[in-house]
Amino acid sequence: MDLNEAARATLRANDRGGYTVPNGQVYPFQWNWDSAFVALGFDTFDRDRAWAEVETLFEAQWSDGFVPHIIFWVDDAGYFPGPDVWAAGENGIRTSGITQPPVAATVVRMLWDSAVAAGQADTFRPRAEKLFDQLLAWHRWFATHRDPEGRGVVVAVHPWETGRDNSPEWDAPGEPIDVSGVGAYTRRDTGHLDAKMRPTKLEYDRYLALVQYGRAQGWEHHKIAVGSPFKVADVGMSMMMMRANRDLAALGTLLGKDVSAVDRLIERAEDGIDWLWDADRQSWCSRDLISGKSSGFVTSASFLSFYAGIRDATKDAATLAHFDRIGKVVKYMVPSLDPEDPGFQMVRYWRGPVWAVVNTMIGIGLAEAGHDVRAKRVKGDTRTMMNQTGFFEAYSPVDGTGSGGDDFSWTAAMWLAWAG
Ligand code: 2M8
């Protein structure tokens, strides 16, 4: 089977009817940003199914605009924590109580452009209009509940919210989390996968303590925004949000919608984003809202500034210098953590491995900013790893071996939509 066929087969196998599971064993539910990326894969061979993927995600949107990070459409004992632990949702749809990186607006804009190019604008316009309104509500929710100081950034209240679960950026901000009352629990992830590829027990205790905290607040977002013991301005989500607002404004303009509210969000982000520039490290870095301290970690998210549309000659040059330095150390770009950091681990999840979806965003950003050689490196490395290893959850930047689950939906989707 050629890889195009294999990628389509992976998406079909993980399709549960209207939504796609990231991987049948390890992640048996609908995940927010996975679904957005998966839609781009479907769009290469089944346009209607692509739109349905995003529409199903937004069916789980709460009345305040929030879109959950997991939707538990069915029961499955293979994942922990499940719906009973979260105890969240609206209208009988069981969900988690936190969100995930806002990439959906960028994806819907791409789906719309693709429909227009295929001469199907009239067919898809009503669906695009509905999604525009839902996306705007979600972005407003972010501005209200995930940017409590109005800095123009995205403040995560849970490491899972960032999508880069065990990045070392969350280590110091996670220290004050009280894990003494977490109690006994059984992880399922380490039943499916080698524990050395997964977060540690201490990290899981913190994840669980934050779930218990949110649940105790009845998942009332205004309370969590104020009182959460974990509040970190995530450089990844902040860059993706900036990009997503630009795409939402462009989509709205194409659809004849009023985009003034989105324009204001873009201005706020452009005014505020420099707060995430770490002058000592000469890099874009996450910053703890509570302590005010920069993480100082150079991660793959540090290279999303181009994708965000930031053009700043001095900062760009410093960022590219990190990129080139890292590119000499690893065989495959872009590792989730600087390989020269003492905490780098080539297979431990978001502390080293390469993720195809992050590479896609970095590659698109570099190409748009005119850094063609580097953009080609990112795409070429991604393609090589997929060719050698198949569609793994992530890959070692050192030797390209697979890490985490195999037959992974968003990886297959990125082959179809970008790398292949
Ligand atoms: C990983 O996260 C989940 C929790 O949301 C987990 O490990 O249990 C992350 O890689 C996340 O970014 C991703 O959306 C999810 C499913 O692929 O897995």
Q: Which residue has the tokens 């870095």?
A: 285
The per-residue pLDDT of the chain, averaged, comes to 98
Residues taking part in catalysis: 165, 393
Distance in Å, CA 100 to ligand 1 centroid: 9
Phi, psi of 97 (to 5 degrees): -110, 5
Atom of ligand 1 nearest to the CA of 96: 5
Distance CA 264, CA 255 (A): 19
Q: Are 281 and 295 in contact (CB under 8 A)?
A: no
Q: Are 119 and 84 in contact (CB under 8 A)?
A: no
Ordered alpha helix ranges (H), 369-405: 372-389
Name the closest-CA residue to atom 3, ligand 1: 160
Helix (H) / strand (E) element for 239: namely helix 235-254
Q: For residues 142-174, b (16+ Cβ closer than 10 Å) or e, as one string?
A: bbbbbbbeebbbbbbbbbbbbbbbbbbbbbebb
Name the closest-CA residue to atom 12, ligand 1: 163
Name the closest-CA residue to atom 4, ligand 1: 160
Q: What are residue 95's DSSP bridge partners?
A: 71, 88
Q: What are residue 31's DSSP bridge partners?
A: 70
Task: Report how far Cα 356 is from the mean position of its chain's Cα atoms.
Answer: 11
Non-local (6+) Cβ contacts of 141 within 8 A are: 64, 65, 66, 67, 221
CATH number for the domain whose boundaries are 3-21+33-70+102-157+230-419: 1.50.10.10
Domain assignments of the chain as residue spans, ordered by start: 3-21+33-70+102-157+230-419
Atom of ligand 1 nearest to the CA of 410: 17
Atom of ligand 1 nearest to the CA of 355: 10
pLDDT, residue 148, reads 95
Output the ligand 1 site: residues, CB below 6 A. Answer: 22, 27, 31, 33-34, 69, 160, 163, 165, 189
User: Where does residue 270 rank: exposed (0-12), middle (13-18), buried (19+ CB within 10 A)?
Assistant: middle
- Mark the ranges of the chain whose per-residue pLDDT is less than 50: none
Q: Which residue has the tokens 């698109």?
A: 364
ipTM of the complex: 0.99
pLDDT, residue 1, reads 75
Strand order from edge to edge, sheet including 232-233? 155-156, 232-233, 287-288
CA-wise closest residue to 82 among 44, 4, 29, 36: 29
Distance in Å, CA 51 to ligand 1 centroid: 22
